Structure 1
Amino acid sequence: MTPKDEEQTVAAAFERKLLHIPFAQIAPLYLVTPQKKATVKYKQIATTILETGLVEPIVVARDRQDPRAFTLLDGHLRLEVLKDHGQTAAKCLVSTDDEAFTYNNRISRLATIQEHKMILRALTLGVPEDRLARALNINLKTLQEKRRLLDGICEEAAELLKDKQVALTSFQVLKKMKPLRQIEAARLMVAMNKYTINYVRSLLAATPDRQLVAEAAPKKIKGISREQLDLMERESANLEREVRLVEESYGADHLDLVLARGYISKLLSNARIARYLSQHHGEFLPEFEKITETGALAS
């Protein structure tokens, strides 16, 4: 086998160029109701588009039967805002995957870091800070804090939190840690699915002084002794190791459970086997039924 044969082709997730597509050719997956248009989120999106233009393009996929028709995957509210203000077409990002679930399962939902990148892009395009602050319905100081969000945050930690709803103040606490500790803290936040300021402060409290940046203020926590802090540090390190072990085995364990559940369901669907279990192994049958019922609820 030649090196050329060993090369693997990576399929692009989107077409290379944005397309200017008339709205008449785009089929939405759902209708935006008047109640939805009355929400704060819709009004904020509308104000942002009017003030700065369409920063994040609408995402569509080509119809398999008619290449001139498109399915709207992401941007229903943006599309409605443009329609309400007389627009009839817009530049769209064309996805090569026409499954809305697949796309929406991976896109960042205007998480904290995504909003930071949107602000940077708008400022790069020349939008004044005060105008952008009005569009986002925030004061100028908050806008500047969002602009500097990742200053002092290492790339690995930012990557872990890129699609999470993390409090702005939580990033300020993370900046008091050195890069390696930031990564550990970000992994713990993801594993525990906790992104609140109180949780991040607890991680800071459990961080040894040697893992804090030089300019970080010493930790002063009322009611907690040095011995208790040392214990928290050890527990934090142990939890981090346990989380990594779970991450390594979770995929295989979950697959084994799915296969086992499917096999048991198939067994119980056979009347002869179910009758045999009932007559000779009655203690197993209720447990097997619980397993199959759990699978039905999970699906």
Structure 2
Amino acid sequence: MARRPHISVRMGFEERTAMVRLADIQPLKLVSDEVKRSPKYRQIAASVGEIGLVEPPVVARSRENHGKFLLLDGHLRLEVLRDRGLLEVECLVSTEDEAFTYNKRVNRIAIIQEHRMILKAIENGVSEARIAKALNVDVASIRRRRKLLDGICAEAVDLLKEKHLTLNSFSELRKLAPIRQIEAAELMIAMNNFSNSYVRSLVAATPRNQLATGYTPRAPKGLSDEQLALMERESASLAREFKVAEQTYGTDHLDLVLAVGYLSKLLRNGRVVGYLAKHFQELLFEFQRISESENVAA
């Protein structure tokens, strides 16, 4: 048996962090006064002031200036440290000087993950007041986040665990019975729409027998009973169509791949193409169009 070639994986960072003077770090963008007034900046500043820097900035060694560094990720954190009068910071040193990965390919924490982190911190003895101070929010907001999943069924939580919803969206989901919560989560994922207004529309289109026990819906302003009934029917129809599409997608896709592959093989036969061109030009055009979608089907 032939030996597999040895494949080496090059590390994306130097093995050790480095203490770097802030004066030696060149940012790729400036932090404006408007950004400094934003909630995000104030939250980072509060977190650094309460518990210190959690996530080190990412820098790359400058190719032009020895001893200088390019700042790839952490512009707000670095600006907060400057405002606090710090002179140096511990950094991760990247072996590549590209910032695309940090700007476009780093997953930001979802609200359910944040909820679990808050629960873990409280279990470890951190007070709600200190968490609120670190996140620059009030204690009531931390309590809402702590109780985020109260009344939400486990299946819906699993579907939405990596999605970015608002606190108010979960308040809307609690108005639904568990089976309808799952349907709503599936519809949000299918439509790629996690906005609070969309969740409210799903609640409004839910039949009364699928609402949570004890919840009495208010009649939406400007909608008649007939319009509400129509919304309920359309929502139920959309849910059924989604289920059917989900159940048949794998088989349909396999059939498509096989059909496209067969047509592509036929069109590589010159005699077949010549015959179709002579007698069935429109059919040949459609076959060629389908064959061109082979990469999409695969």
The interval holding the TM-score normalised by the smaller chain is: 0.5 to 0.7
Q: Indicate the larger mover: 116-125 or 153-162.
A: 116-125
8 A Cα contact 1:55 1:118, kept in partner:
no
User: How many residues are matched?
Assistant: 239
In structure 1, the partner of 2:167 is: 168
Taking structure 1 as reference, are residues 267 and 132 closer, same or farther at Cα in structure 2, changes over 3 Å only?
farther
Q: Alignment partner for residue 24 of structure 1, among 14, 21, 31?
A: 14
In structure 1, the partner of 2:8 is: none
**Deviation by residue 1:182-210 (Cα, 9 ceiling, x = unmatched):** 22222222232222212211221122333
How far apart are the structure 2 equivalents of 1:240 and 1:266? 38
8 A Cα contact 1:178 1:211, kept in partner:
yes
In structure 1, the partner of 2:146 is: 147
How far is the alpha carbon of 1:46 from its aligned partner?
A: 9.4
How far is the alpha carbon of 1:168 from its aligned partner?
A: 1.9
Would you say 1:260 and 2:264 are equivalent positions?
no
One-letter identity of the residue aligned with 2:224: S
Across the aligned residues of Structure 1 and Structure 2, the Cα RMSD in angstroms comes to: 4.3
SS in structure 2 opposite 1:183? helix
**Deviation by residue 1:86-135 (Cα, 9 ceiling, x = unmatched):** 2679xxxxxxxxxxxxxxx9x97522212222222233333343443344
**Deviation by residue 1:153-196 (Cα, 9 ceiling, x = unmatched):** 11111112112222221110111122222222222222322222
One-letter identity of the residue aligned with 2:147: R
One-letter identity of the residue aligned with 2:220: I
One-letter identity of the residue aligned with 2:183: E
8 A Cα contact 2:273 2:284, kept in partner:
yes
Written as runs of structure 1 = structure 2, the 5 A alignment for 1:1-299 is 24-25=14-15, 34-35=27-28, 85-86=89-90, 109-296=108-295
One-letter identity of the residue aligned with 1:264: L
How far apart are the structure 1 equivalents of 2:134 and 2:297? 41
**Deviation by residue 1:219-242 (Cα, 9 ceiling, x = unmatched):** 221222223222322222222222
Taking structure 1 as reference, are residues 225 and 279 closer, same or farther at Cα in structure 2, changes over 3 Å only?
same
Taking structure 1 as reference, are residues 53 and 160 closer, same or farther at Cα in structure 2, changes over 3 Å only?
farther
How far apart are the structure 2 equivalents of 1:206 and 1:214? 17
8 A Cα contact 1:278 1:285, kept in partner:
yes
Structure 1 unaligned segments of length 5 or more: list them: 1-20, 27-32, 57-75, 90-104
TM-score by length of 2: 0.62
How far apart are the structure 2 equivalents of 1:255 and 1:237? 28
8 A Cα contact 2:148 2:170, kept in partner:
yes
8 A Cα contact 2:110 2:161, kept in partner:
yes
How far apart are the structure 2 equivalents of 1:268 and 1:222? 59
SS in structure 2 opposite 1:86? strand
**Deviation by residue 1:238-291 (Cα, 9 ceiling, x = unmatched):** 222221111100111112222322333344345554444323331122222322
**Deviation by residue 1:6-27 (Cα, 9 ceiling, x = unmatched):** xxxxxxxxxxxxxxx9x6349x
Taking structure 1 as reference, are residues 243 and 209 closer, same or farther at Cα in structure 2, changes over 3 Å only?
same
One-letter identity of the residue aligned with 2:288: E
One-letter identity of the residue aligned with 1:178: A
One-letter identity of the residue aligned with 2:290: I
Q: Indicate the larger mover: 272-281 or 220-229.
A: 272-281
Structure 2 unaligned segments of length 5 or more: list them: 1-10, 17-25, 56-71, 78-87, 94-104
SS in structure 1 opposite 2:282? coil
Taking structure 1 as reference, are residues 132 and 258 closer, same or farther at Cα in structure 2, changes over 3 Å only?
farther
8 A Cα contact 1:108 1:162, kept in partner:
no
One-letter identity of the residue aligned with 1:258: V
